[in-house]
Amino acid sequence: MRVFPWICGAVLVVGAVFSYPGRDYVLVGLMLFLPFFDRGWKIPALPRSRSHRLIWAGLLIAGMALLLWQPSKMSFAFSALLTAALPEEWFFRAYFMTQIGQGWHANLVASVLFSLLHGLTHNWYTALLVLVPSLFYGWLYQRTRDLPLLVLAHALSNLVYVMFLAGFVATWVPDLR
């Protein structure tokens, strides 16, 4: 059993447990750079097929259409892409999930850790809300090995949530940030 991915997961949890200035930046940095210290891990190759590029383009066009409709969400979309979708998918799917194993067990463990970190940094309602999408992202990555697809899908789902669903969810769960 490989131990280093579990150590990386524990480092993220410990980094998220305490509230301190710059915590979010520290966690993003850890997610981006911890995998590079694992000598048993290789950066995933980018899919080069035409179908992958068409799907990426479709997701980008959908995101741009939403932002043309509500340009006030532009800074959120850019921030969600760079500080949430990219580091989270890089760490949790491309690194952690692939290093701890294959199949639904690895996906479940990575998704529970993903939700745990959201619970520690936001609240437990958020942790519950991200569990199902996390399971979907894990399944999608296991099927496609397409990290750009996951990053774009994650960023787009965050944008759709903020634009259309956050107000609705807040009526049911008032203390949800």
Per-residue pLDDT tens over the stretch 41-70: 999 999 999 999 999 999 999 999 999 999
Q: Which two tokens stand for residue 126?
A: 């958020």
Query: 3-state DSSP call for residue 11?
Result: helix
Contact 93, 150 (CB under 8 A): yes
pLDDT-derived band at 1, boundaries 50, 70, 90: low
Q: How many whole angstroms separate alpha carbon 152 and alpha carbon 53?
A: 12
Nearest of 90, 84, 89 to residue 38 by alpha carbon? 90
Q: Over 90: is that where the pLDDT of 111 sits? A: yes
Using CA atoms, how far residue 107 sits from 13, 54, 85, 102, 113, in Å, is 18, 26, 17, 8, 10
Question: What is the per-residue DSSP string for 56-102?
Answer: HHHHHHHHHHHHHH-GGGHHHHHHHIIIIIHHHHIIIIIIIIHHH-S
Percent of the chain exceeding pLDDT 90 equals 87
Contact 31, 88 (CB under 8 A): yes
Contact 137, 153 (CB under 8 A): yes
Indicate yes or no: pTM above 0.85: yes
Per-residue pLDDT tens over the stretch 84-98: 999 999 999 999 999
Contact 86, 151 (CB under 8 A): yes
Per-residue pLDDT tens over the stretch 125-176: 889 999 999 999 999 999 999 999 999 999 999 999 999 988 887 777 766 5
